[in-house]
Amino acid sequence: MRIPFHELKAEFKRVLLSLHFTDAKAEACATIFAENSRDGVYTHGLNRFPTFVGHVKGGLVKPDEEPTKEGRFGALEQWNGNYGPGMLNARFCMDRAIALANESGIGCIAIKNTNHWMRAGTYGWQAAEAGLIGICFTNTIANLPPWGGLDPRLGNNPLVIAVPRKEGHVVLDMAISQYSVGKLMQYKSKGEALPLPGGYDDEGNLSTDAAGILESKRILPVGFWKGSGLSLVLDLLATVLSGGNSTAKITQSGAEAGVSQVFICIKPSSGQQTTSLIEEIIAYTKTSAPENADSSISYPGENTLKTREKNLREGVLVDEKIWEVVKGL
Amino acid sequence: MRIPFHELKAEFKRVLLSLHFTDAKAEACATIFAENSRDGVYTHGLNRFPTFVGHVKGGLVKPDEEPTKEGRFGALEQWNGNYGPGMLNARFCMDRAIALANESGIGCIAIKNTNHWMRAGTYGWQAAEAGLIGICFTNTIANLPPWGGLDPRLGNNPLVIAVPRKEGHVVLDMAISQYSVGKLMQYKSKGEALPLPGGYDDEGNLSTDAAGILESKRILPVGFWKGSGLSLVLDLLATVLSGGNSTAKITQSGAEAGVSQVFICIKPSSGQQTTSLIEEIIAYTKTSAPENADSSISYPGENTLKTREKNLREGVLVDEKIWEVVKGL
């Protein structure tokens, strides 16, 4: 079913106010949750809202806390998230990175003791809206085995790279796992095969069987050994730059709370030359002959924009059962 | 066969001097080529040297040119490589990024009109040796189809992320293609199957047959659609920040010259806390049970260090035929 955007947002806000969020914080959090669903990232919009409420009630997420500065050297700052709402901390950090980049060309914020930021791409869109290149990543609880290993020891550490563009920002939002656990569970419950291998079965063979992959816990990182290495270095950067919890510490704590994140902004030249270069790259990419009649070549963020427009026009697609749950909160 | 490191380097230097490189430039270039072979990256050491000489003779690489500054805003600088030797330009840029990060916590250099930097990892090791986090990437000629397309329109745009560490730096050096063209040709000539799918055959099926993949030109990006998007945004960043040639322009020029690159350095806190966090992450990753008796879990750069030590001890492994070619140059 479809719900008007403002109704979705109002419902989130109502629940957050009942949890003693201030009006400003309830408004900001509700907006992010509603926008995530509006943009088609339902897993980190409506569908995740009940879990977020659970984390607030359980004390993992502390609505009253604000980020505090721990250190600054030039255009590099360390902040402490104090276990506040991850989306608000992340939005704050990207705003600081934007300010630093506007002062110094480039700026970097590392934050420790923050919480799940929901959709990673949110903060890429934020930087791009401000006319800046945005790069951000987070560590997570361990959910991928390192290359050559059987047990999960690496996070899927989502990485975002966003480039501002007049006709629609380019926003890459990729986790290091080929498919998320949520996606694997979706395929498992539908009894459908994954379109492409997403992990290993119990015998160590590449597999498209989501149920078998979830059982073996051997979820595939992008590019096999390459994604394994990329996940490790992103955790190193987030942890070292913030002085915060690593994937190791988060996993050992038993709950995905108090994660570490990095936000980098870079100020590109504005003006016609930049615009032309971006359009040249996108146009050239699209000259590749499509694989088949159904396939089309799109840049990262292009489909998000289409989904956004449709969801704003026709109402945001919601899972009826979860919508009922939220209305009952 | 194995050749002592100093002999390999001396031979490169002799050839470069005969091409009218200054003594300092010949020394610097020879060192980088010899170190690439020493570290086991033979494809971008000895094996690539004859091609580099050809590019110098053909005028694609101009040994007399130096990088010149085009712009600066805070800790972000634009440089022009003036088609000088790519390795020297890249080394220069990472040195500038190191200096900026030492001043401002973070620094970014974008360079246009530069040339192939040989092994991407070289500049990650350089940053790490200086005690800094180094991130760099380059665009290339088109060699990968975008997701959903048949014709190559994206570069394999190598990405490096390096973290300094007392017991051996962590240096991720990954191209966006699952296997390089060089690696595919190696498997083809040996008639061996790839260990894992590396592209598509002519029927559009994932394949481990290197010959078929080279024929279809459908080399796989890491993580399918994810690597396709990552390659595109890296090209956007390199091109937009430097104001230089995109993969489109490079490909249309017919030769891989005048590429665009980005070098970012970040200054981590020094001291015991950082050391402990790095060791905690590496140690935890290695607690994953190995997949089988032969497998081991290593961090990016760990095997490079082992190869380096062996090649320094026993002599650098060289392809005898290519070594003879170089001695005849």
B211 lies in the same domain as B254: no
Q: In the structure, what pLDDT confidence band is assigned to residue A77 with cuts at 50, 70 and 90?
A: very high
Mean pLDDT of all residues in B43-53: 96
Domain count, chain B: 3
Write the DSSP assignment of B92-129 as a string of letters. Answer: HHHHHHHHHHHHHSEEEEEEEEE---S-THHHHHHHHH
* A288: chain B residues, CB-CB within 8 Å: 145-146, 148-153
Whether the predicted pLDDT of B181 surpasses 90? no
DSSP state for residue A149 in the 8-state scheme = B
User: Contact B108/A266, CB-based, under 8 Å?
Assistant: yes
Q: Which helix (H) or strand (E) holds B259?
A: strand B259-266
What's the CATH number where B192 sits?
A: 3.30.60
Asked if A154 and A114 count as a contact pair (C-beta separation under 8 A), the reply is: no
Closest CA to A164 of A199, A125, A202: A125
The two tokens of residue A147 are 């290359």
Residue B182 has pLDDT above 90, yes or no: no
Co-location of B165 and B274 in the same domain: yes
In three-state secondary structure terms, A107 is: strand
Model confidence pLDDT, tens digit, residues B157-175 = 999 999 999 999 999 999 9
Closest partner residue to B223 among A178, A204, A295, by Cβ?
A178
**In which band, very low, low, confident or very high, does the pLDDT at B292 lie, cut at 50, 70 and 90?**
confident
Which of B174, B228, B233 is most worth mutating to test chain A (most A CB atoms within 10 A of its CB)? Answer: B233
Could you tell me if A253 and A269 lie in one domain? yes
Beta bridge partners of B109: B77, B263
- A96 and A46 belong to one structural domain: no
Q: Which of A69-83, A226-240, B200-214 has the lowest mean pLDDT?
A: B200-214
Indicate if A117 and A190 belong to the same structural domain: no
Burial A117-138 (b: 16+ CB within 10 A, else e): bbbbbbbbbbbbebebbbbbbb
* Contact predicate A242/B266, CB 8 Å: no
CB interface of B with A, residues 87-146, below 8 Å: 103-108, 133, 145-146
CA dist., res. A289 & res. B148, Å (int):
8
Query: Which residues numbered 30-69 in B keep a CB inside 8 Å of some CB on A?
Result: none
The answer to whether ipTM exceeds 0.85 is yes
**CB-CB contact of A31 with A118 (8 Å):** no
- Per-residue pLDDT band for B116 (boundaries 50, 70, 90) equals very high
Model pLDDT for residues B231-258, shown as the tens digit of each residue: 999 999 999 999 999 999 999 999 999 9
Contacting residues of A for B274, CB less than 8 Å apart? 240, 243
- Alpha-carbon distance of B188 to B296, in angstroms, equals 27
Unique residue bearing structure tokens 């990472």: B94
DSSP state of B209: -
Residue B294 has pLDDT above 90, yes or no: no
Asked if residue A317 and residue A201 are part of one domain, the reply reads no
Say whether A285 and B147 touch across the interface (CB within 8 A): no
Supply the mean pLDDT for chain A.
96
Chain A residues with CB inside 8 Å of B97's CB? none
**Residue recorded with tokens 């869109």:** A125
A177 within 8 A of A143, measured Cβ to Cβ: yes
Per the listing, tokens 């559009």 go with: B204
What pLDDT was estimated at residue B280?
98
Q: Does A170 touch chain B (CB under 8 A)?
A: yes
Give tens-digit pLDDT for A236-256.
999 999 999 999 999 999 999
Chain B partners of A226 at a C-beta cutoff of 8 Å? 174, 178, 222
A167: three-class secondary structure by DSSP? coil
Q: What is the pLDDT of residue B200?
A: 94
Same domain for B313 and B168: no
pLDDT at B228: 98
Supply the pLDDT for residue B270: 86
Residue A307 burial (CB count, 10 A): 18
Backbone angles phi, psi at B136, to 5 degrees: -150, 155
CB B92 within 8 A of CB B82: no
Check residue B22 and give its pLDDT: 98
Residues A253 and A288 in one domain: yes
SS3 of B136, please? strand
DSSP secondary structure, A187-237, as one string: HHHHTPPPSS--EE-TTS-EE--HHHHHHHT-BPBTTTHHHHHHHHHHHHH
Check: CB of residue B210 under 8 Å from CB of residue B187: yes
The structure tokens listed for A106 are 């480039």
Residue A271 has pLDDT above 90, yes or no: no
Residue A181 has pLDDT above 90, yes or no: no
Averaged over A72-77, what is the pLDDT? Answer: 98
CA B129, A71, A234, A159 dihedral sign is negative
Cα→Cα distances B191→B93, B181, B194, B198, B210, Å: 41, 15, 10, 15, 8
In this prediction, what percent of chain A has a pLDDT beyond 70? 100
- Residue-level pLDDT at A226: 97
Backbone angles phi, psi at B160, to 5 degrees: -120, 135
Q: Which residue of B has its CA nearest to A277?
A: B240
CATH code of the domain covering residue A306: 1.10.1530.10
Q: What is the mean pLDDT of chain B?
A: 96
Q: Can you give the pLDDT at residue B95?
A: 98
Amino acid identity, position A244 = G
- Residue B168 in contact with partner chain A when CB distance is under 8 A: no
Residue A144 bridge partners (DSSP): A154
Report residue A3 CA to chain centroid gap.
23
pLDDT on residue A61: 98
Largest CA distance in chain A: 55
Q: What is the pLDDT of residue A274?
A: 95
The kind and range of the H/E element at A199 are strand A199-200
CA angle B102, B103, B108 (to 5 degrees): 80
- Give the mean model confidence (pLDDT) for residues B105-117: 98
pLDDT computed for residue B190 by the predictor:
93
Residue A270, pLDDT above cutoff 90? no
Give me A58's structure tokens.
């359980």
With beta carbons less than 8 A apart as the criterion, state whether B201 and B209 touch.
yes
Number of other CB atoms surrounding residue B19 within 10 Å:
16
Task: For residue B245, give the CATH number of its domain.
Answer: 3.30.1370.60
Question: Whole domain around residue A253: which residue ranges?
Answer: 65-177+221-298
Are B300 and A76 within 8 A, CB to CB?
Answer: no
E strands present in A81-222: 106-114, 133-138, 159-163, 170-174, 199-200, 206-207
Q: Which of A128-137, B80-89, B202-211, B226-235 has the lowest mean pLDDT?
A: B202-211
Classify residue A178 by its DSSP letter: S
Taking residues B97-123, report their average pLDDT.
98
Instruction: Note the pTM of the prediction, 2 decimals.
Output: 0.97
Interface contact B174-A223, CB threshold 8 A: yes
Chain B residues lying within 8 Å of A196, measured CB to CB: 206, 224
Give residue B136's identity as a one-letter amino acid code.
Answer: C
Work out whether strand A76-80 and strand B170-174 pair parallel, antiparallel, or are unpaired: unpaired
Residues B6 and B135 placed together within one structural domain of the fold? no
Taking a C-beta distance cutoff of 8 angstroms, is the pair A145, A129 a contact? no
Residue with tokens 């003779």: B57
At residue B101, does pLDDT exceed 90? Answer: yes
Residues of A (234-273) whose Cβ lies below 8 Å from B: 234-237, 239-241, 243, 246-249, 251, 264, 266-269, 273
Closest approach of B48 to chain A, Cα-based (Å): 23
Under DSSP, is residue A161 helix (H, G, I), strand (E, B) or coil?
Answer: strand
Mean pLDDT of B309-324: 97
What would the two tokens of residue B201 be? 């055959």
> To 5 degrees, how large is the angle CA B206–CA B211–CA B216?
60
Please indicate, yes or no, whether residues A228 and A284 belong to a single structural domain of this protein.
Answer: yes
B174 inside 8 A of chain A by CB: yes
| Residue A295, pLDDT above cutoff 90 | no
Give ∠ CA B98-B100-B103 in degrees, rounded to 5.
Answer: 110
pLDDT level of residue A88 (50, 70, 90 thresholds): very high
CB B136, CB B173: distance < 8 Å: no
How far is Cα B258 from Cα B81, in angstroms, rounded to an integer?
8
Q: Is A73 found in the same domain as A91?
A: yes
One domain, residues A197 and A251: no
| Whether the predicted pLDDT of A21 surpasses 90 | yes
